[in-house]
């Protein structure tokens, strides 16, 4: 049994299917548009281009849906992240909203006594979520998620109350490999398509550098598990180090709580008729 991977039958068809769902996730829920956090990376850029494509088609039929791109730099971000976010907004013809978050983060750090890089990185993500939420609420828009299959489903590589705090995840069924393909089809600049993935959690941080393997490797490993293969079979078929296979399995299992709604406590209750 070979490990199977997903491919687009037709990138244009995939674009249009997702565009229809963008409309369902916004106008279909009573919203007037969408808000995207523009990090300058491939995922947020692809979501912004996809939303613009969907809104431009929909806006010929009545009240205009609006797209807002929010750039939230901190000292953890490379300056190019901000310039790339601004370039995306310019390319799409939308006005960027730039809100530096470093001063907000410093207040939390001082008040809570946060003293390590990992917790500070997750704090940045959580602050960005609050900013996006408040902007979206003020404009009756939905926060458009930018997670992909590899990050969210396979590895749980996101901050639960940060980049996980969104109204939808339009790219959630696409591995990073197919996000890049869709991005090219939408006309995303090649330098952003090929940009090294980073969550912007601390200076110099990259996703694959922190993980120790690539998103494409994690995708293939999880595909193997989903198709009923054992770890030993996946190692044999891929030639990957067993540590990679075990780490993907561990991350997938231990981050299940991030993908589920809050657990509700259960208790036996009886109901009696109320007589007025």
What's the chain's length in residues?
A: 276
What whole-number percentage of the chain has pLDDT above 90?
86
Q: CB-based burial of residue 267 (10 Å sphere; 0-12 exposed, 13-18 middle, 19+ buried)?
A: exposed
Q: Do residues 169 and 152 lie in contact, with contact meaning Cβ atoms separated by under 8 Å?
A: yes
What whole-number percentage of the chain has pLDDT above 70?
98
Domain at 11-206: CATH code? 3.40.50.620
Residue 1, pLDDT above cutoff 80: no
Q: State whether residue 96 is helix, strand or coil.
A: strand
Q: What is residue 94's predicted lDDT score, i.e. its pLDDT? A: 96
- Per-residue confidence at 245, pLDDT binned at 50, 70, 90? very high
Integer angstrom CA distances of residue 226 from 5, 62, 105, 134, 249: 11, 43, 39, 38, 11
66-71/96-98 β-pairing: parallel
Q: What is residue 202's predicted lDDT score, i.e. its pLDDT? A: 67
- pLDDT tens for each residue of 2-52: 899 999 999 999 999 999 999 999 999 999 999 999 999 999 999 999 999
- C-beta pairs of 240-248 under 8 Å, 24+ apart in sequence: 240/213, 243/212, 244/212, 244/213, 244/217, 244/218, 245/221, 247/211, 247/212, 247/213, 248/154, 248/155, 248/213, 248/217, 248/218, 248/221, 248/222
Q: How many CB atoms lie within 10 A of CB 10?
A: 10
DSSP single-letter state for residue 116? S
- pLDDT tens for each residue of 220-230: 999 999 999 99
Integer angstrom CA distances of residue 110 from 100, 106, 113, 128: 18, 6, 5, 18
């Amino acid at each position: 049994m070979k490990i199977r991977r997903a491919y687009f039958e037709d990138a244009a068809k995939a674009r249009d299917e997702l565009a229809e769902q963008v409309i369902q996730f916004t106008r279909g829920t009573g919203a007037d548009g969408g808000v995207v956090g523009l990090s300058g990376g491939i995922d947020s850029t692809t979501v912004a281009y996809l939303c613009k494509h969907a809104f431009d088609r929909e806006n010929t039929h009545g009240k205009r849906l609006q797209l807002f791109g929010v750039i939230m730099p901190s000292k953890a971000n490379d300056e190019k992240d901000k310039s790339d976010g601004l370039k995306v907004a310019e390319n799409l013809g939308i006005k960027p909203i730039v809100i530096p978050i470093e001063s907000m983060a410093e207040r939390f750090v001082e008040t809570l006594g946060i003293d390590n890089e990992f917790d500070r990185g997750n704090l940045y993500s959580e602050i960005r979520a609050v900013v996006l939420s408040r902007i979206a609420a003020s404009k009756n828009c939905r926060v458009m998620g930018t997670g992909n299959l590899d990050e969210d489903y396979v590895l749980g590589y996101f901050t639960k109350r940060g980049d996980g705090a969104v109204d939808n995840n339009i790219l959630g069924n696409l591995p990073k490999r197919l996000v890049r393909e869709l991005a090219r089809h939408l006309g995303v600049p090649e330098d952003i398509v090929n940009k090294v993935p980073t969550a912007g959690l601390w200076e110099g941080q990259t996703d694959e550098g922190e993980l120790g393997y690539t998103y494409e490797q994690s995708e293939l490993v999880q595909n193997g598990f989903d198709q009923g293969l054992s770890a030993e079979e996946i190692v044999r078929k891929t030639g990957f180090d067993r540590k990679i296979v075990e780490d993907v399995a561990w991350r997938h299992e231990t981050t299940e709580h991030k993908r589920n709604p809050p657990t509700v406590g259960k208790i036996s209750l009886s109901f009696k008729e109320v007589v007025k």
